[in-house]
Amino acid sequence: MISGILEKLRHAFTKNHNDRETSSTEKWLQILLVSSVGVTALVWGVRELKWLESWELKVYDQMLRSRPVQSPDRRILLVTITENDLEREQWPLSDNTINQLLKKIQSYQPRVIGLNIYRPTQLNLADGIGNRNHIIATCLLSSMGRAEISPPPNFPIDNVGYNDLIPDSENDQIIRRSLLFAQHQDKKCKTRFSFAALTAISYLEKSGVELDFPDKNHFSLGKTIFPILTPNYGSYTNLDAKGYQLLLNYRHPAHFAQEVSLTAVLTNQVNPELFKDRLVIIGTTAASVHPGLYTPYSAATEQPARMSTVYIHAQIASQIISTVLDARSLIWDWPDWAEFLWIWAWGLMGGTLAWRSRHPLLLAIAGGTTLIVLVGICFGLFLLSGWVPLIPSALTLLITGMSVRAYITYQTQQQTQLIIQQVEQQKEVIEQLDILLKETQVDSTRIHDEHHHFPKIVTPEKTTGDFLLSGRYQISKILGSGGFGCTYLANDTQRPGNPTCVVKQLMPARRDTKFLQVARRLFNTEAEILEALGKHQQIPELLAYFEDNQEFYLVEQYIPGHTLSEELPPVTGLQKEKVVINMLKEVLEVLEFVHEHRVIHRDIKPTNIIRSAEDNRLVLIDFGAVKLMQPPNSEETELATVAIGTRGYAPPEQFAGHPRLCSDIYALGMIGIQALTGIQPQEIHPDQETGNAIWRSHAQVSEELAAILDKMVRYHFSDRYQSASAVLQDLESMSK
């Protein structure tokens, strides 16, 4: 199914030199699907090898211990033989003591009595008790290295249950399952029922609840159906699930059931009402007789390391009875396909977080929060008795996130290296362009010639026929025009829905062959840089670029909205400091991305920043050294050198033809000052000695923000902030 989706994606989106049809979202969808499915399959395979089982079982134990304490089971009473009792009675207990205890308890009218003590040598068990049907004795099945222990010879086998308990593995020896019914070949301990199951069933039968086996995978008590364990139940893998096994749903040992001691019963120190109509289970808790077995509660600090077998059998009996009479939930799980989808979903979550959270700290916070949510969901389901995979889901979440993050880092490094190479090529082309422009004196004839070759503006009225730019772009509106060319709003007729895009027409300053060759190299290099930068959500995506009739065209994503100039004085009033800080941060985050690729925007100004109408974010537009091939505009740029920039916003070194990364920071700082003072940057007077802008007296601003803006717009570039991240760090420290 997944391979089919990916195949459709590969065929649906194609790319050529002039057209990038596959968007970054679609590309990352493919990466996300591939990585999440691959990691999920890997984790699933590791899980099938049982390498995760011990971790998952430890998590199961922890969740079991962490549940709210349930009320004690009032149907069960434990008669325990403690170390103190053994100081009074010698072990093993005499036949007389056992019978005396049974008669005493019998007189208190319990519903069922379970004797969880091996008494194969007692020939007269329950002597003197007329009806023995409600008394359950025990024996022990044979196992590796141990012979079977036979039941009391004078007791019917129907009233005997085996005392065996099955640990999970040789590693932890923890009792999490109960073997209720078993097929075996023992000659003495012939019973098919466990001691716990037989006592519970005998108790329920006296309420009219009958045992039945509707199929090999279930047994029922009355209307309650018990599904038995399967080899891959919950987090088990290839479990030996022979016989009818049930996952133990323990009650907290400290709040399980009432208990009285052997001595207290024999010396009449108990209330007879405690026994009436209850399931009474007799067994030893003395460690000198049996050290007990490990359970999920063994790791609890307030509990003993081992639990006596009589407690474990009582827990099993309590679970069966409560399930039938109280509708207490059994521990349930999901089928394999649902668990796979669950694990895969968390892989998708991890990959999505890595894709969306580009900053490592933000990713760590988001990943940690998601892990907490995962644990919370799994524990919440466990409170509803659901056992769903936690460790595989967490591993898939983390591994997918790390793999996607690693891929993004690798791709970013590759793109950065490529862009750096392109930027170096761009510098070489600019130098060649500078030489060509200086070779010829600018005279009136040249100027006339250049104006003669200005592009013909294509108006919407002239496109009412079949005319399509490059055979696909239907011009609908002119956004701007001048000596450099024209910017159009157009519809792409070759894409579904004819989406709106922006077409920028760029005309070289000269039409001679030599100049066109250099201009073409600059255009292609610049387009490749813009194509890479357009992957950022706050930079328009470059959709296509081409040459037609010695004119160059860029086709970019259309960003509906308004320019930042509409949010600044005199269009609006003076902006508040908080608004200015947020504006600076948002643009600086884009510049941080741009500068990481060693790219200089060169023309940061309010009209080149758009407030997107879709998500209200600021979008940086109109990059480009491609403007160098255009005729200079005396109203905006210095004429002495090949330079890009707008007077007032561009710093001195940029007009000298040597822009730096901090040149963009200077321009943004001027926008911030304009927002606070309402003064156009061209009208701000510099200090006669330092050349630094004098503006503070025109604004009500905190000392912290003023100091940051001053450092952003220092006259000498070496005195300014050298990176956008450094400015962001200082702005962030203001809000703390």
Q: Residue 607 above 50 pLDDT?
A: yes
Q: How confident is the model at residue 659 (pLDDT cuts 50, 70, 90)?
A: confident
Give pLDDT, residue 502: 92
Q: How confident is the model at residue 460 (pLDDT cuts 50, 70, 90)?
A: low
Give pLDDT, residue 456: 53
Q: Residue 579 above 80 pLDDT?
A: yes
Q: Residue 572 above 70 pLDDT?
A: yes
Give pLDDT, residue 310: 96
Residue 571 backbone dihedrals phi, psi, to 5 degrees:
-60, -40
Mean pLDDT of the chain: 85
Identify which of 281, 351, 354, 276 has the alpha carbon closest to the alpha carbon of residue 315: 281
Give pLDDT, residue 712: 96
End-to-end CA gap in the chain? 50
Give pLDDT, residue 346: 97
Give pLDDT, residue 25: 64
Q: Residue 679 above 80 pLDDT?
A: yes
Q: Residue 5 above 50 pLDDT?
A: no
Rounded to an integer, the average pLDDT of 648-675 is 91
| Higher-confidence position of 121 and 314 | 314
Identify which of 663, 674, 449, 428 has the alpha carbon closest to the alpha carbon of residue 574: 674
Give pLDDT, residue 236: 92
Rounded to an integer, the average pLDDT of 314-324 is 96
| Range with lowest mean pLDDT among 39-48, 209-218, 672-681 | 209-218
Give pLDDT, residue 436: 64
Q: Residue 610's beta-bridge partner residues?
A: 563, 619
Give pLDDT, residue 398: 95
Express each pLDDT in 691-736 by its tens digit.
899 999 999 999 999 999 999 999 999 999 999 999 999 999 886 6
Quickly list DSSP for 375-437. HHHHHHHHHTTB---SHHHHHHHHHHHHHHHHHHHHHHHHHHHHHHHHHHHHHHHHHHHHHHH
Give pLDDT, residue 449: 43
Q: Residue 618 above 90 pLDDT?
A: yes
Give pLDDT, residue 414: 79
Rounded to an integer, the average pLDDT of 47-58 is 93
| Higher-confidence position of 6 and 687 | 687
Rounded to an integer, the average pLDDT of 321-347 is 95
Give pLDDT, residue 441: 40
Express each pLDDT in 368-415 by its tens digit.
999 999 999 999 999 999 999 999 999 999 999 999 988 888 887 777
Residue 80 backbone dihedrals phi, psi, to 5 degrees:
-105, 145
Cis peptide before 606 (omega within 30 of 0): no
Give pLDDT, residue 214: 87
Q: How confident is the model at residue 623 (pLDDT cuts 50, 70, 90)?
A: confident
Enter the pTM of the model.
0.67
Q: How confident is the model at residue 450 (pLDDT cuts 50, 70, 90)?
A: very low
Q: Residue 451 above 80 pLDDT?
A: no
Q: What own/partner pairs with CB < 8 Å and gap ≥ 24 does 521-525 have?
A: 521/425, 521/429, 522/426, 522/429, 522/430, 522/433, 522/625, 522/626, 522/628, 522/629, 523/547, 523/552, 523/626, 523/629, 525/422, 525/425, 525/426, 525/429
Q: What structural domains and CATH numbers belong to the chain?
A: 2-49+334-406 (no CATH), 71-325 (no CATH), 440-558 (3.30.200.20), 561-736 (1.10.510.10)
* High-pLDDT (> 70) share of the chain, %: 86
Give pLDDT, residue 446: 42
Give pLDDT, residue 664: 93
Q: Residue 298 above 90 pLDDT?
A: yes
State how far the Cα of 644 lies from the Cα of 665, in Å rounded to an integer: 15
Position 34, amino acid: V
Kindly provide the b/e burial profile for residues 422-447, where b requires at least 16 CB atoms within 10 angstroms of the residue's own CB.
bbebbeebbebbbebbeeeeeeeeee
Give pLDDT, residue 466: 61
Is the distance from CB of 177 to CB of 299 less than 8 angstroms? no
Cα four-point dihedral sign 179, 184, 188, 193:
positive
Task: Show the beta-strand stretches assigned E in 452-566.
Answer: 473-482, 485-492, 500-506, 542-548, 551-557, 561-563
Q: How confident is the model at residue 630 (pLDDT cuts 50, 70, 90)?
A: very low
Give pLDDT, residue 447: 39
Q: Residue 63 above 80 pLDDT?
A: yes
Give pLDDT, residue 439: 61
Rounded to an integer, the average pLDDT of 271-281 is 96
Residue 94 backbone dihedrals phi, psi, to 5 degrees:
-70, 160
| Higher-confidence position of 280 and 733 | 280
Q: Which residues are catalytic?
A: 603
Give pLDDT, residue 1: 38
| Range with lowest mean pLDDT among 234-238, 332-336, 460-464, 481-485 | 460-464
